[in-house]
Structure 1
Amino acid sequence: MPEAKHKKTEGSPPTAEHACRKMVDRGWAGPYLRYINILPEEGVWLGSVLLLVRSERLGASRTPAQPPAESADRPTRPGDTQSHDITAEMVMWEADGKEQGQSTSQGVLLTEVEGWQAWRFGISLSLHRSQRPIAYHVAVGPVQTEQCVFWIPGGGQPMHWGYTSCNGLSSDVPEDAPERQDATYLWRDLLQLHDAYPMHCLFGGGDQVYNDLVWSEPSLKEWGNLEDREAKLSANWTPEMEGEATEFYCRNYIDTFSTTHIATAMACIPQLMQWDDHDIWDGWGSYREDVQSCFVFKGLFQVARRFFLLFQKHTTVERVDKEGEFLNKGSYHSVHYLGPTVALFSVDMRTQRTRSVCVPEIPSMELLLRGLEHAINRFNCLLDLTKKTGLVDQFDQPEILDDLHDGWIADLHSEERIRFIHLMQDMATSRQLRVSILSGDAHVAGIGRLYSHPKYKNLENDPLFMPQITSSAIVNAPPPNPVVRTLTRLNFSKKIDGKTKQKMVRAFWPRHPRVDKLLAYRNWCDVSLVAPPFSAPMVPGEADHGALRFVLRVERPKQRLGFAEETYTIAVPRFVPDKRSERLTGDTEATRQRALRALAAAGVALPAVFFSLNPSKQGSPQAEPVEEETEVNLEPSGGLNGRRAGPQYA
């Protein structure tokens, strides 16, 4: 198997400021590679690349902070810039050592800001029978990037992908903390795994960038220090605030995305991203209504959204609705194909969030189904398991909150939570789906689950079984062990309603007997399907075939080996109806109407929901039986040099 080609670096990474300085010195930042979707019927892979180039390198003059007027469909050479025509081109070829069969993509100038021109290059590639590496480089005027290589899956084959969250350090992390001393340790682990087993996609579930320090900018700090509440709420959003905020967000995105190892991953692994509060600033959406709607908050949010769309979505406010990528206007929900039997519903739970409702409007089920009808036969939607209720201090300033103090079981969201549990259950039973929830934000690793009461003997027969995998953080420091230990001891199995129970799984026993349900170490999650080519040869009738396999890759800072020191494997079985579950499932009109009513009434609180689809109902995998009061234990598999346990059911 050809190796993914990227420049390897050893030792502790330089600071983000140093990495950014190198980018500025050479005159560009990027390339940043993004996965958009696969069109299964056409056999086409869609993506894009973003490259930022210093305007002076192109002989262009600097423009104001506001983006230029633009046309969503205008091709490469922008006629409205204050420079001469610029040739912008991306060249791609199959990375087999021969630059034959090249294809090109012409660049589109998205915007010019803070002395940077942002160029987007669209990618459309045909899928072959097997996965293959694609080499590319980008040239804008005299600037040309180095060759990078990424992998696309084979047509109809499972995808190998990963999940990260919390890609930054909170201000309260000590300077001598191991997480700050080697911030990108797990990014190096991710790249090593990618070298051996190429990843087709990497999903950032939120907090790709920590923008909380925007409140240290002089004009915003002055506003935050106002003691007169009425004066604060009525204060205008000023040009000084606009300019300082624009410069901060632009610089902070480039700093973060240019950091060693992160920059390599973003150039060599197609990225999918959804924002959370730190991408805006801490607690956005959970402040009191009068604070949330004041001029300063609204103005700053517009700046944060502009750079979220540019760096994470490769688009602009002016273009986004015309491009039609997202499911409805005003928010950024999206559906993505992750292989023949897996789909991702990425939920934007920040754009329209209020203190009482996480997302007041989500797309109808009919729209979601239309988005998948050409890719998959069955589908569903769902929501959160660990979100915050942001607070403000006595001066109404943003305040860094402990994520573990907030959650979907807060009284404020209890009714919303129950509605969405029922929504998930109705969708799972009506479409015969297995719904898995993948979330972050809490700075811990953990496995939870919802399941039928009374229990099914085999989990794969349970239509209400919904696991939640929590993976966080890839960079930020974990909470103190005493806090996690207390939360572990307070967690017990409990009823949601007359037919459903919830509990945390003792996933980390016996290696961590005192904190066997929540693990306070940095981590990320590797995901693949239990099917060839990501498993030993098997046939569809075998027990594990078709399960979705989540591998938590965990750092132990006092035992560093140069890669994830511990791994924990969780296999989520596909749904196989038995006689009992068949009474609850089926695409009945009554169930469908219940689901649509729930969608119409509900709010949302989770960045990512996965739908594991049933390509075949033949065969019934036989899992180990689970007794009524028996905890399901997931045995640690050890590091890369340790024993690796087989997939366990969550």
Structure 2
Amino acid sequence: MAEHHHDPLLDDEDEARNPYASANRWRHQESSSFARAAVARDPHSAGADTKDLSNFLNSARVEGERPPTNGTGNFQPIVIGGSDGATEGDDGREIVCGPLLNYRRMEGNIWHGSVLIVTRGGGKTQTFQPSLHIGRVEVARSQQGLVHEGDDVNGATNGNGTLVSNHGTDVQGVCLYSDPRCTFWSFAISCDMAETETKWAYSIADVRYKSQTQAPTSYFFIPAVNESMRIMFHSCNGFSVGTDEEAWSGLALWNDVLRSHAQAPFHVMIGGGDQIYNDGIRVHGPLREWTDIGNPKKRRDFPFPESLRQACDDYYLKNYIRWYSNEPFATANGQIPQLNIWDDHDIIDGFGSYVNEFMKCDVFRGIGGTAHKYYMLFQHHLAPPASTYTTDAPETMEHNPAQDQAQLLNTFVRPQGPWDASYIVGSKPGPYVAEHSMNIFTQLGARIAFMGIDARTERTRHQVNYPETYDLIFNRVRQELGAAASAGRPFRHLILLLGIPIAYPRLTWLENVFSSPLIAPIKFLNRRFGFGGGVFNHFDGSVDLLDDLDDHYTARTHKKERNTLVERLQTVCAEFSVRLTILGGDVHLAALGRFYSNPNLHIPTEADHRYMVNVVSSAIVNKPPPSAIANLLSSRNKIHHLNADTDETLMSLFDKDPGNSTKTMGSNHVTMPSRNYAILTENSPNNQAVTNGNGAVANGEANGETNGETTGNKFDGKDGHAFLHAGEDGAGTQHKAASFTTHGKGNDGSLDCCIRVEIDQHDKEGKTEPYGLTIPVLNYEAGKFGSNAKHGIGLRHHRSRPDTRASTIAPSTAMSAPEPSH
């Protein structure tokens, strides 16, 4: 890397200002003008034209302008590389970001994770190697089950009577990357799991923190060896440009996350993409000059030299340090183990979904490589590639590039070793990011498996992932589920993480408007004279928001791939009798979609391998869209037919608006335009039976009978606009999954799901209203209700017509169900 001169990167900054937010304030958020247009005219109604929508697009889619810890220390200097590249005055002991805690995997009774810190200064030679001290704390719980605070990692009895372990271990830091600006240290930690939930404490020796609020000791929790993890899920963790952050109380909902964590500790924090918004690189950052080029061809042919690469590198590093140091997000980062998959805003808005010839331009490939570098470091605690794309070094412009000595000047990059066992690495690099996709399979405690699909690295306008990548993922899933079943410890739930919802209302009508031949003359005028500049994006000249629509699995270009993916998941669920739950964000709304068997098949949900809930939780920080958008999506909540046997729709989850607000119209119970996050907890079979006030057993599917023929008869034949099983009956604020006292306290193996929705955007405490439902376990009996494919000529004729086109995915098991028209 070229030599880095002094940069204000690590100096004190005005924390109230956000110079690095998303460049496009219209990423899933619209104005009052659109609200008026949406109310005045429904674009889907008979005879509706696009005038109101065009007026909205033309007028509204524009941008807005510490003291040392008590661990052990005093190590001899270690030499990582050749010459000394440390900046004078930096001793390598000041932590400018972190600690960040990650979860990786379980092996037997051992929990594996990592801690990351970023220290000021560095180079090829390090004069200080940090050490992390970690030990288990034996936690005494009060009668209410709340965890006592104030524990000491080195061993004592605190004022609350908590017994603290005197045993612990020291872990030496491993340098992942270092240049004169900063150094990334990773600590691999392994913890023994016990018969009960355990609390662990860690501290880092002989360092000082730039943050004045960072505690010297951090704590986290690990579930009992025979229990599953309590899961927190979030997405869209940043602000768009033009958003009044004070009006939205900053990162208020992270206060609610920490309150929930104090009541019942989260064992894992799943990031569904857009953990950071880097779009500001083209508004306030080094790509502003490039973005201002009016001619798309000149913009496409613009080079990405070393000077621009280094400026972009500085931007991404600085933005990550600033954002990951923001409270209360920073506190959560050090206390709740993270598990992340990236999406477009982690790079730049719409990355991968613009036209191919533009996506292959030097600037996009350059920032793709740079963003990937810091995604690997901050979000996965892994060493990055030695060099990233630049037009000054042709060897970096190829896949699997050679080392660029200009980038490695006064810089150390740890050689990439074998991948951690939790990763499923794509077989070939992505088309625009010259790196392999990083998919994840891991275990979330005793009975929950997790599969995260990297749906950004391989993405183009016409594909989400390579067919070969799907094969790698499904082969691994079958291997892991089969091994668990053979060992007598089968997984009962499989969590699938996708960056974008897969069960969501269709927006084909809007795609048709943007793709209409009527748009072509306006595009020509835009290219030649800049006409309609607010309508067209600054990259490839396409209609803005079209990249957002092309991102969706329900877009026409991804329809075949999506349908085959869902059918392939159905086969896995049937094969291993495992219930699939999908997590997705991106759309800045709370919702709950689901797939399920055609009611004419009369399959009880508890035996339905096609029943898959898509928990849509977004955004935890960014501004939600106005109510008109949520209401419009609600009006498009039709019952769709994925194939002859599978229906899909959103569920009525929101029985009321949060607090005393009136955010949505009275008929909208399926989309909620408020910031939110989700909690999922297993109703463990090890739990003691909980009784209600009448002495009756209240199990995981409270609010109705839960098994046998009673449930099947009560809900048999109802479509997706009704409740399909007992766990959906009474869904909302009064459901047992919405209450802290009963959430996850059942014992039938089901999952309690709660979406916590912000009540008041001006409340800096981030208080929320909970909405709950229960997802049943799957008890699949092969052949009892028919096969995975066809169920009769009459049904197929009535519901669909055959589609003989080839599938986008090459599944290991052929899918024979025809694809219907929609």
What letter corresponds to residue 82 of structure 1 in structure 2? T
Q: Which moved more, 1:282-291 or 1:378-387?
A: 378-387
Shift of residue 87, structure 1, vs aligned partner: 3.1
Match of 1:556 among 759, 773, 777: 759
Q: d(CA) in 2 for partners of 1:373 and 1:278? A: 36
Residues 1:413 and 1:346: Cα distance change in structure 2 (over 3 Å): same
Shift of residue 536, structure 1, vs aligned partner: 5.0
Find out whether 1:576 has 2:720 as its counterpart.
no
What do the CA deviations read for 1:483-542 (whole angstroms, capped 9, x no partner)? Answer: 110110121223222111111111112556332100001000011001267785478997
Counterpart of 2:595 in structure 1 is 450
Q: d(CA) in 2 for partners of 1:516 and 1:264? A: 34
The 8 Å contact of residues 492 and 503 in structure 1, kept in 2 or not, is answered as yes
Q: Which moved more, 1:213-222 or 1:307-316?
A: 213-222
User: The residue matched to 1:568 in structure 2 has which SS?
Assistant: strand
Shift of residue 145, structure 1, vs aligned partner: 6.7
What letter corresponds to residue 101 of structure 2 in structure 1? L
Residues 1:113 and 1:527: Cα distance change in structure 2 (over 3 Å): farther
Q: d(CA) in 1 for partners of 2:273 and 2:538? A: 28
Instruction: Note the 1:182-581 alignment, pairs <5 A.
Output: 182-216=249-283, 219-318=286-385, 319-320=415-416, 322-325=418-421, 326-329=423-426, 330-360=436-466, 361-362=468-469, 363-371=472-480, 375=484, 377=490, 385-386=501-502, 393=537, 396=540, 401=545, 405=549, 407-453=552-598, 454=600, 456=602, 458-511=604-657, 513-531=666-684, 537=690, 545-557=748-760, 560=763, 562-577=765-780, 581=784
Q: Which moved more, 1:555-564 or 1:496-505?
A: 555-564
Residues 1:341 and 1:599: Cα distance change in structure 2 (over 3 Å): farther
Find out whether 1:159 has 2:223 as its counterpart.
no
What letter corresponds to residue 393 of structure 1 in structure 2? N
The 8 Å contact of residues 296 and 541 in structure 2, kept in 1 or not, is answered as no
The 8 Å contact of residues 561 and 808 in structure 2, kept in 1 or not, is answered as no
Shift of residue 215, structure 1, vs aligned partner: 1.4
Counterpart of 2:111 in structure 1 is 45
Q: d(CA) in 1 for partners of 2:753 and 2:189? A: 29
Shift of residue 301, structure 1, vs aligned partner: 0.7
Q: d(CA) in 2 for partners of 1:599 and 1:139? A: 52
The 8 Å contact of residues 594 and 648 in structure 2, kept in 1 or not, is answered as yes
Find out whether 1:88 has 2:130 as its counterpart.
yes
Shift of residue 559, structure 1, vs aligned partner: 8.2
For the pair shown, the structure with the greater C-alpha radius of gyration is 2
Shift of residue 339, structure 1, vs aligned partner: 1.9
Residues 1:505 and 1:396: Cα distance change in structure 2 (over 3 Å): same
The 8 Å contact of residues 282 and 399 in structure 1, kept in 2 or not, is answered as no
Q: Which moved more, 1:558-567 or 1:302-311?
A: 558-567
Shift of residue 174, structure 1, vs aligned partner: 3.3
The 8 Å contact of residues 134 and 170 in structure 2, kept in 1 or not, is answered as yes
Structure 2 spans left out of the alignment, 5+ residues: 1-13, 20-65, 68-89, 139-150, 156-164, 386-414, 427-435, 515-534, 658-663, 691-696, 708-745, 790-805, 813-822
What letter corresponds to residue 28 of structure 1 in structure 2? V
Shift of residue 120, structure 1, vs aligned partner: 0.4
Shift of residue 29, structure 1, vs aligned partner: 1.5
Counterpart of 2:186 in structure 1 is 120
Q: d(CA) in 2 for partners of 1:335 and 1:139? A: 33
Shift of residue 227, structure 1, vs aligned partner: 3.2
What letter corresponds to residue 490 of structure 1 in structure 2? R
**TM-score, reference length from structure 1:** 0.77
Residues 1:83 and 1:44: Cα distance change in structure 2 (over 3 Å): closer
The 8 Å contact of residues 350 and 548 in structure 2, kept in 1 or not, is answered as no
User: The residue matched to 2:254 in structure 1 has which SS?
Assistant: helix
User: The residue matched to 1:332 in structure 2 has which SS?
Assistant: strand
Counterpart of 2:810 in structure 1 is 601
Q: d(CA) in 2 for partners of 1:31 and 1:49? A: 6
Residues 1:27 and 1:335: Cα distance change in structure 2 (over 3 Å): closer
Find out whether 1:15 has 2:20 as its counterpart.
no
Q: Which moved more, 1:203-212 or 1:22-31?
A: 22-31
The 8 Å contact of residues 380 and 427 in structure 1, kept in 2 or not, is answered as no
Residues 1:443 and 1:364: Cα distance change in structure 2 (over 3 Å): closer
Residues 1:465 and 1:238: Cα distance change in structure 2 (over 3 Å): same
Residues 1:105 and 1:396: Cα distance change in structure 2 (over 3 Å): same
What letter corresponds to residue 277 of structure 1 in structure 2? D
Shift of residue 598, structure 1, vs aligned partner: 7.1
User: The residue matched to 2:205 in structure 1 has which SS?
Assistant: strand
The 8 Å contact of residues 700 and 752 in structure 2, kept in 1 or not, is answered as no
Counterpart of 2:794 in structure 1 is none
Residues 1:402 and 1:232: Cα distance change in structure 2 (over 3 Å): closer
Residues 1:403 and 1:341: Cα distance change in structure 2 (over 3 Å): farther
Shift of residue 463, structure 1, vs aligned partner: 1.8
Q: d(CA) in 1 for partners of 2:329 and 2:687? A: 25
What letter corresponds to residue 637 of structure 2 in structure 1? N
Find out whether 1:30 has 2:30 as its counterpart.
no
CA RMSD of aligned residues (A): 3.4
Q: d(CA) in 1 for partners of 2:538 and 2:259? A: 47
Shift of residue 225, structure 1, vs aligned partner: 2.3
Shift of residue 308, structure 1, vs aligned partner: 0.1
Q: Which moved more, 1:413-422 or 1:388-397?
A: 388-397
What letter corresponds to residue 315 of structure 2 in structure 1? F
Shift of residue 261, structure 1, vs aligned partner: 0.8
Shift of residue 562, structure 1, vs aligned partner: 3.8
Q: d(CA) in 2 for partners of 1:132 and 1:381? A: 24
Q: Which moved more, 1:161-170 or 1:414-423?
A: 414-423
Counterpart of 2:738 in structure 1 is none
Q: d(CA) in 1 for partners of 2:764 and 2:297? A: 55
Structure 1 spans left out of the alignment, 5+ residues: 1-12, 64-80, 587-596, 604-650
Residues 1:342 and 1:585: Cα distance change in structure 2 (over 3 Å): farther
Q: d(CA) in 1 for partners of 2:446 and 2:788? A: 22
Shift of residue 34, structure 1, vs aligned partner: 0.5
**TM-score, reference length from structure 2:** 0.62
What do the CA deviations read for 1:194-214 (whole angstroms, capped 9, x no partner)? Answer: 111111111011100000011
Q: Which has the higher contact order (CA 8 A, sep 6+)?
A: 1
> Would you say how many aligned residue pairs link Structure 1 and Structure 2?
549
What letter corresponds to residue 175 of structure 2 in structure 1? L
Residues 1:122 and 1:372: Cα distance change in structure 2 (over 3 Å): farther
What do the CA deviations read for 1:399-431 (whole angstroms, capped 9, x no partner)? Answer: 974997563222111211221221122222222
